[in-house]
Amino acid sequence: MADTVERTSGAKNRKDRRKSLQVKNEGKRKRGPKKEDKKRKRTDSSEKDAGEKPAKSPKALRIETAQEAKKLWEKLRNRKEKDKGSDTELVAKIIDVLRDDLNGFSHRHDTARIVQWVLKCGNREQRSEVVQGLLPHVLSLSSDRYGRHVVMSALTKGRATRGEVLAIYERFRGNVYSMCKNNLSAEVLDQFYQMNTTSAQRRELCLELLHGKEGKLLSSFRQKKTTASSLEEVIAEAGPEFGKVLYDGTKAILIGFAEKESTVRLQIVHDVLHHFLIYACEHDREGAAEMAALYAPVAIHLVHTKNGAASFVACLKLLDAKNRKKLIKSVQEDIRKISEDSYGHLTIMALYEHVDDTKLLQKAVLKPHIGKSDSEELTTLLHRYASLPLLNLLAPHEGRYFNPANYAFIWTGETKSVKDDGKRRQELADFAIPLLIESVQKNVLELLCDPAGSKIFLELVVKDSPLIEELWKTEIMTKVADALTTELEPSEGGEESSGKLSRYTHPRIRFSVLICWISLFRYTTDS
């Protein structure tokens, strides 16, 4: 019985399989004609639309446009010197290609470079056309990785008209705080602030950042149309009720900026910090000291602007010994670069004026400042700015060399220094003089012929110090005389004399030599 049951069940399964196969085959047969119908329809439609191409997608169109622009750009980039007259024609073709989506192409890594070349090589009308097309999108471009380069290229001196710069300024107004917080747009704002704005526009942008998030106070302040140019004047006009709010808001903004080194580099931040420290040193000295402690580790980013250097000096005066070490640590790797900067040398001079730990200064600042090799020492002594802090050690606060209007802020003001100024300065001078004497012995003529070097040389000669005796023991004046008896070629300066030139004909050398001989006479008579 079991065998019969298995046979019947197997037969049923086979029948079911056959039925399922038949159903599948019928389905295939039914679908067959549909495929043929589709093919017929395609052939019919192709016959009807013969010669017509299918529409391209927007992405394909952008790629094709970019490739066409790149070909023109290669011609523009690789042109020969004699073919530079055809720049205008090539730029016009590139503008025609990119005109439909100039903003979109300015955001792409490859075509953004082409737009920059258009701004560089185009004539006035072509540059204006590009800038006008980008004006509505200048904020989004400024915060874009590639678009910011296009905006900065447009802001390069001479490429944008005054009207276009004013239009960009109006778009930046009201967005200063948000732009400062973004690393990319902050760089654009900093270039615009330094290169393209007037003093009134800089004042307006700076005051906007002083107000920070207090937009209502800013709008009411602008409606008054006042001429306030400092935080103290702004707070005075805001009144006692809103003045505290404004001060606390500015303080909170600067605290946030101190945590971000890319923001500390901005000149507008240096200006705001300078305004804050001036006000806080008079009304909230404890708050000013707290702010100085926050900016001590990032003080290296303050030294390259006028108000940044002033803020550096103000922070140095407010800091205690522990935080001053942090400040020195932040700058010690770049002492030579800082000393050669038009504003950075002021910060080096302030370190020599206010830091009591002279041992630390000698090792971390003074020795790198003078130089580690003979060539570095000579470069420092001959440099217009790097020589001034050393000159101040030899001739402190000397009016012949230092205008009080430019340097008084370093020497005056309340400070936390304890050591006597004369003692501190003398300890640093005693360390520097032997190094300077060694350099003078090797480079007598170079120092005498240079405006900066001759001042160092003269102050070394006339300075009342036991260490100066080393100059005479080494017979430095004999070397001076030997150097002066040699002759120069006429091309090196002065009047010709039979194809040769005596060094005595240089007025600066004649004055230096006169002082040297007077000093020598004084020294010999005293001894």
| Tens-digit pLDDT profile for residues 463-495 | 766 666 655 555 666 776 666 666 555 544 444
pLDDT level of residue 262 (50, 70, 90 thresholds): confident
Place of tokens 């005051």: 207
CB 440 within 8 A of CB 483: no
The answer to whether 153 and 121 are in contact (CB under 8 A) is no
H helix or E strand, kind and range, residue 328: helix 321-331
> Mean pLDDT score of the chain, rounded to an integer?
80
CA distance 120 to 464: 59
Whether 205 and 253 share a structural domain: yes
CATH label of the domain that carries residue 136: 1.25.10.10
Question: What is the per-residue DSSP string for 464-521?
Answer: --GGGHHHHHTTHHHHHHHHHHSEE-GGGSS--BTTBEEGGGSHHHHHHHHHHHHHHH
What per-residue confidence (pLDDT) applies to 440? Answer: 84
Same domain, 157 and 217: no
Burial of 498 (0-12, 13-18, 19+ CB in 10 A): exposed
Q: What is the pLDDT of residues 365-393, one digit of tens each?
A: 999 999 989 899 999 999 999 999 999 99
The answer, yes or no, to whether residue 364 has pLDDT greater than 70, is yes
Counts for the chain of helices (H) and strands (E), in that order: 32, 2
Locate tokens 């009207």: which residue?
A: 163
pLDDT attached to residue 326? 94
Residue whose entry in the numeric block shows the structure tokens 């049923």: 12
Same domain, 176 and 221: no
Where is average pLDDT lowest: 89-98, 194-203, 447-456? 447-456
* 215 has pLDDT over 90: no
Question: For the segment 305-320, what is each residue's pLDDT rounded down to a tens digit?
Answer: 999 999 999 999 999 9
Which of 71-85, 94-108, 191-205, 450-464 has the weakest average pLDDT?
A: 71-85
- Other Cβ atoms within 10 Å of 499 Cβ, number: 8
70 lies in the same domain as 91: yes
| Domain tally, the chain | 2
Q: Which of 180, 196, 212 is the last residue of a domain?
A: 196
Nearest CA among 398, 419, 408 for reference residue 324: 419
Classify 107 as helix, strand or coil.
Answer: coil
Confidence at residue 422, expressed as pLDDT on a 0 to 100 scale: 86
Residue 292 lies in a domain: yes
Q: How many CB atoms lie within 10 A of CB 79?
A: 15
Same domain, 228 and 287: yes
Report yes or no on 305 lying in a domain. yes
3-class DSSP assignment, residue 452: helix
The first and second tokens of residue 197, run together, are 């704005």
Q: Is residue 267 part of a domain?
A: yes
Phi first, then psi: give them for residue 11, nearest 5 degrees.
-65, -40
Q: Are residues 311 and 234 in the same domain?
A: yes
Does residue 174 or residue 480 have the better pLDDT?
174
Query: Which residues make beta-bridge pairs with 497?
Result: 500
Q: What is the DSSP letter of 403?
A: -
For 249-280, the DSSP string reads HHHHHHHHHHT-HHHHT-HHHHHHHHHHHHHH
Last residue of a domain, one of 263, 296, 319: 319
C-alpha distances out from residue 81 to 114, 115, 126, Å: 20, 21, 21
Q: Are residues 174 and 75 in the same domain?
A: yes
- Kindly state whether residue 207 falls inside one of the protein's structural domains: yes
Is the pLDDT higher at 401 or at 228?
Answer: 401
Determine the pLDDT at residue 324: 94
Query: Of 206, 110, 115, 182, nearest to 152 (Cα)?
Result: 115
Residues 83, 135, single domain; the answer is yes
Q: Let me know whether 164 and 259 are in one domain.
A: no
The DSSP code for 334 is G
Q: Which domain holds residue 189?
A: 66-196
C-alpha to C-alpha distance for 44 and 50, rounded to whole angstroms = 10
With H, G, I as helix, E, B as strand and everything else as coil, classify residue 370. helix
If you average pLDDT over residues 58-82, what whole number do you get? 79
- Please count the CA atoms within 13 angstroms of the CA of 246 that sit on its side-chain side: 29
Whether 303 and 255 share a structural domain: yes
* pLDDT at residue 513 in the model: 60
Q: Which of 319, 348, 365 is the last residue of a domain?
A: 319
Question: How many CB atoms lie under 10 A from the CB of residue 10?
Answer: 10
- Look at residue 510 in the predicted model and tell me its pLDDT: 56
Which has the minimum average pLDDT: 112-116, 224-228, 269-273, 291-295? 224-228
Please check whether residues 251 and 156 belong to one and the same domain.
no
Residue whose pair of structure tokens reads 């945590």 in the numeric block: 259
Residue 187 within any structural domain of the chain: yes
Q: Are residues 111 and 220 in the same domain?
A: no
Q: Beta strand pairing status for 487-488 and 501-502?
A: antiparallel
Residue 95 has pLDDT above 60, yes or no: yes
